[in-house]
Amino acid sequence: MSISIKGLNKHFGKYHALRDVELSIPDGELVALLGPSGGGKTTLLRTIAGLESPDSGQILFEGRDAALQRPRDRGVGFVFQHYALFRHMTVFENIAFGLRVKPRTERPSEDEIRAKVGELLKLIQLDWISDRFPDQLSGGQRQRVALARALAPKPRFLLLDEPFGALDTKVRKELRRWLRELHDELGMTSLFVTHDQDEALELADRVVVMMEGRVAQVGTPDEVYERPATPEVFQFLGNVNLFHGRLAEGGFRHHAQATSGRDAALAFVRPHDLEVERFASSESSVAAVLTHAYALGPKVRLELRRTDNSAPMEAELSRDRYRNLGLVAGDPVWVTPTNLRVFSADEDVVI
């Protein structure tokens, strides 16, 4: 099932939550809605589910207008951020709910319900807790029960709102991998909301970056990370160093290099695209002082301060490279950007 969204707008009072959202989600993909909080991700997800109605625009499910269908007929499986399990029902009854409320003619028999729920319990590897109540489960278990409950009526889409937000890092990692496998196995179209870029980049086939109610960029995780469409997207996706400068013959020149040139421009450099050396290696090198260094797994993160304008910078080196340089805090260094992404007022160029 494909979803296509056209010119969607939604206000909450004076607040413009969705602004002319255009999006199409191909059949069978696992898509991440990524963005800072307040960016409209959850509103978009709830609107697709039918929990909010748009002020204008259309949502098409395989070409059919969803506005003509009631939320319950859309075939949407929804996993809520805080799970929203029915607290007075056992795990078994929670999962069976979607089967029990089907119209009489489509409702499976008690035996079929039992078999189906048993199958789902096995799928989430929790068949031993079917008699427990939600408040007797851990966060990760609740999450899996919520997922099984959403899957029971065989939805055509699975929508997940911050599915791993409330879990600790280890459980989150496991559940991520498990969700990916499940998605591939069941072949549904799935859409999940997250503010965690690692989660989106690791898990999704396609990432939709949302900011201030707009779709800022759509692309594969690689495209979005390597070629962010706007300075805002670049800044949102990980740590960056900012260079002010101008566009001149031969490309971008930052302020430390040249003051002549045409248009003012901005350049972004990821910490791992900064070379740190004892001596200047090119005309684009800038002088800086090491203020602090700390190890992050196999990498070493360096905090630097530019000598000319005291702006802070961040660089990332391998442990070996750091050891060879033999740096200590307070040492003067030269920093050279090796990969810049440049944005000017009217066009963007990569050097």
Please give the residue ranges that form the binding site for another protein (CB under 8 A). 49-51, 71-73, 76-78, 80, 82, 84-88, 97-98, 101-102, 149-150, 152-153
Please provide the distance, in angstroms rounded to a whole number, between the alpha carbons at the two ends of the chain. 40
Q: 100 vs 122, which CB is nearer to another protein?
A: 100
Please, what is the minimum distance in Å from the beta carbon of residue 202 to another protein? 27
Task: Provide the residue type at 279 as one letter.
Answer: F
Please, what is the minimum distance in Å from the beta carbon of residue 43 to another protein? 14
Residue from 169, 170, 149, 150 nearest 159 by CA: 150
Please, what is the minimum distance in Å from the beta carbon of residue 183 to another protein? 19
Q: 51 vs 280, which CB is nearer to another protein?
A: 51
What is the Cα–Cα distance from 278 to 275, expressed in whole angstroms? 10
Please, what is the minimum distance in Å from the beta carbon of residue 194 to another protein? 18
Please, what is the minimum distance in Å from the beta carbon of residue 12 to another protein? 9
Please, what is the minimum distance in Å from the beta carbon of residue 46 to another protein? 8
Largest CA distance in the chain: 80
Q: 76 vs 315, which CB is nearer to another protein?
A: 76
Strands 15-25, 3-12: pairing is antiparallel
Instruction: Give the strand order in the sheet containing 264-269.
Output: 251-254, 241-248, 264-269, 341-344, 348-350
Q: 42 vs 241, which CB is nearer to another protein?
A: 42
CB contact at 8 A, 325 and 343: no
Please, what is the minimum distance in Å from the beta carbon of residue 84 to another protein? 4
Q: 68 vs 296, which CB is nearer to another protein?
A: 68
Q: 86 vs 338, which CB is nearer to another protein?
A: 86
Task: Provide the residue type at 335 as one letter.
Answer: V
Task: Provide the residue type at 35 as one letter.
Answer: G
Placement of tokens 């409702």 in the chain: 107
The helix (H) or strand (E) run that includes residue 53 is none
Percentage helix, strand, coil for the chain under 3-state DSSP, each rounded to 5: 30, 35, 35
The two tokens of residue 338 are: 């090796």
* Radius of gyration from C-alpha coordinates of the chain: 25
Residue from 231, 235, 233, 258 nearest 245 by CA: 258
Q: 87 vs 170, which CB is nearer to another protein?
A: 87
